[in-house]
Amino acid sequence: MKLRIVFFLAFFSVSVPQYGQFLIPGEGIMDVKIGADRDEVEWELGFKGIRLTKEEVSPAMAYIAQQAGIDFDYAVSYRHLMWLPVTDLLFKSDKVCLVALNSYHDYNQMLCVDIGTTEGLNFWEDADAVNKIYGQQKILKDKGRSYMFYPGRGIGVEMLDNEIRAMFIFMAQLK
């Protein structure tokens, strides 16, 4: 009987991704959800962030929104030490339409170790891992970064040196 329990526990620990926080493509992470209003998100993250007009958004974030097929009115940028590595949120009609997380800053790197998608994709994996989970996709290049977008699934990734360094969650786009 003890041997069966040990075998079961060993199998379970190998079979299920062991992330503490899941990114759900097309939905969000934790209580930072697509469709949430700004007050809900600020309460969840504990910070207000910096509101940016569409014109003030960085060219990189504008590129990401365009490739994801997301139209937005404004963004809120987060550059605080938080418990989630959320760096930017895009809003349409005062509702979240894209959540951006990244592992570029040292503190965010520590947080991202514990985050993965429900399908098992984690930060620092390569393009092959992304293709294996979400399907073959063309790699887009922009200003030294590589991107892969899956509008039908509601997820995109940014890679540096063929490692996932940012993930984007948005409403899945119907074709």
pLDDT in tens, 90-128: 999 999 999 998 887 776 777 777 788 999 999 999 999
Q: Is domain 2-170 given the CATH code 2.60.40 in the classification?
A: no
Identify the pLDDT of residue 112.
74
Q: What is the pLDDT of residue 119?
A: 92
Tokens of 88: 């930017």
CB 2 within 8 A of CB 96: no
Task: Check whether 132 has a pLDDT greater than 50.
Answer: yes
pLDDT value at residue 15: 38
DSSP letters along 12-67, please?
HHHHS---SEEEETTTEETTEETT-BHHHHHHHHS---EEEETTTS-HHHHHHHHH
User: Domains of the chain: which residue ranges?
Assistant: 2-170
Q: Is 73 a residue whose pLDDT tops 90? A: yes
Question: pLDDT tens, 6-61?
Answer: 333 343 333 334 445 778 899 988 888 999 999 999 988 888 899 999 999 999 99
Decide if 154 contacts 169 (C-beta within 8 A).
yes
Q: What is the pLDDT of residue 1?
A: 54
Say what the pLDDT of residue 46 is: 85
pLDDT(84) > 70: yes
Count CB atoms within 10 A of the CB of residue 99: 24
Whether the predicted pLDDT of 81 surpasses 80? no
